Structure 1
Amino acid sequence: MKTHKSTSKRFRVTGTGKLMRTRQGKSHFRRNRSGRLLADLPEMHEVDATQVKRIQKLAPYLDKK
């Protein structure tokens, strides 16, 4: 089964198996945001449990890196 390439670039799997994503809004209209907000943006966040199954279907080999 093929991996959906944009999905594989947007998500990472931690060592404990959690599916992580980056926060949105990191580049577009960046100048309008405060420095404090921009400092928090690069943090990775855990994907909601309702979306995990969908992402695993799109990228079945994501956790096998």
Structure 2
Amino acid sequence: MPKLKTKRAAAKRFKVTGTGKLKRNKAYRRHILTKKSAKTKRNLRKATTVDSANEKVMKKVLPYL
């Protein structure tokens, strides 16, 4: 079996928690922030976990994470 290559773009965006789940940042916080409320922007700061539907694919893309 050859070594598997990690997708570097994904490796920069995801971290693994202690329980093995994938942690990611939320979208929609890059630009056009004037029309978003302070509450919305505050909630977008927090990291969240990857959805279970996508987690299997992401673990395949990140074999050594």
TM normalised by structure 1 equals 0.83
Q: What residue is the counterpart of 1:42 in the other structure?
A: 45
Summarize deviations over 1:12-37 as a string: whole Å, max 9, x none. Answer: 11112111111111112122211111
**RMSD (Å) for aligned C-alpha atoms:** 1.1
Tell me how many residue pairs correspond in the alignment: 62
Unaligned runs of at least 5 residues, structure 2: none
Identity %: 37
Instruction: Name the TM-score, length of structure 2 as normaliser.
Output: 0.83
Structure ID, larger Rg:
2
1:54 aligns with 2:36: no
Higher helix fraction (1 or 2) = 1
More strand by share: 1
Matched residue of 1:30: which SS?
coil
Equivalent position of 1:21 in the other structure: 24
Runs of 4+ displaced beyond 3 Å = none
